[in-house]
């Protein structure tokens, strides 16, 4: 499924652009679509590029995809990924944002917001009532994005991802 992108700024109250959203320097339009199994190498490349040493190992990304393929969306131009989001639902029917990444050159254009909006819409449709995520406490840009989507700051957990890998937990009520 491919979802048209309507505007660089999808904030409420801002009208969508009538023309295609983003076009690469080569003239290729970006599209938001559900990821397929054949996309895993490119998804892994983007994850490594954005998260470096904190990126998912390929085998873990593969297994997460197998569990949550319906909740994995990418932004691509037909050749290269410029963003992705992966969410999942746990046994308690709580949604979790497992990864959100935007290529460095495409940040600040509303793409992360658009990916999150599509993920949250899908979770709502499936009856998920709360969504949680973790974010590095010093990542002010990500925290601001999540707060603007309605996520509330929760506890900060020292060592959540291991030594020297603290995380801030944020939650959103979808109902």
Strand, coil or helix: 135: strand
Q: Average pLDDT of the chain? A: 87
Q: Is the pLDDT of residue 11 over 70?
A: no
Multiple choice CATH, 2-173, 3.40.630.30, 3.40.50.970, 1.20.120.1630, 3.30.390.30: 3.40.630.30
Find the mean pLDDT for residues 13-19.
Answer: 35
Can you give the pLDDT at residue 16?
37
- For 21-79, the pLDDT digits (tens) are 688 888 888 899 999 999 999 999 999 999 998 899 999 999 999 999 999 999 999 88
Can you give the pLDDT at residue 21?
65
- For 93-116, the pLDDT digits (tens) are 999 999 999 999 999 999 999 999
Can you give the pLDDT at residue 73?
95
Q: Is the pLDDT of residue 14 over 60?
A: no
Backbone phi, psi, residue 172, to 5°: -135, 130
CB burial string 63-90: b at 16+ within 10 A, e below = ebbeebeebbbbbbbeeebbbbbbbbbe
Q: Is the pLDDT of residue 139 over 80?
A: yes
pTM: 0.84
Q: For the chain, what percent of residues have pLDDT higher than 70?
A: 88
Can you give the pLDDT at residue 63?
97
Can you give the pLDDT at residue 8?
39
Strand, coil or helix: 72: strand
Can you give the pLDDT at residue 22?
81
In the Cβ-directed half-sphere of 85, how many Cα atoms lie within 13 Å?
21
């Amino acid at each position: 499924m491919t979802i048209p992108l309507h505007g660089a700024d999808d904030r409420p109250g801002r009208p969508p652009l009538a023309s295609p959203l983003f076009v690469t320097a080569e003239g290729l339009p970006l599209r938001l679509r559900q990821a397929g199994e054949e996309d895993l190498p490119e998804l892994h490349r983007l994850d490594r590029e954005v998260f470096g040493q904190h990126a998912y190992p390929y085998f873990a990304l593969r297994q997460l995809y197998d569990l949550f393929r319906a909740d994995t969306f990418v932004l691509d131009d037909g050749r290269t990924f410029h963003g992705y989001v992966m969410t999942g639902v746990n046994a308690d029917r709580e949604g979790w944002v497992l990864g959100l990444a935007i290529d460095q050159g495409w940040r600040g254009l509303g793409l992360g917001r658009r990916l999150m909006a599509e993920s949250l819409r899908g979770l709502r449709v499936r009856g998920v009532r709360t969504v949680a995520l973790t974010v590095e406490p010093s990542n002010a840009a990500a925290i601001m994005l999540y707060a603007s989507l309605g996520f509330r700051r929760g506890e900060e957990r020292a060592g959540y991802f291991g030594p020297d890998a603290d995380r801030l937990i944020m939650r959103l009520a979808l109902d």
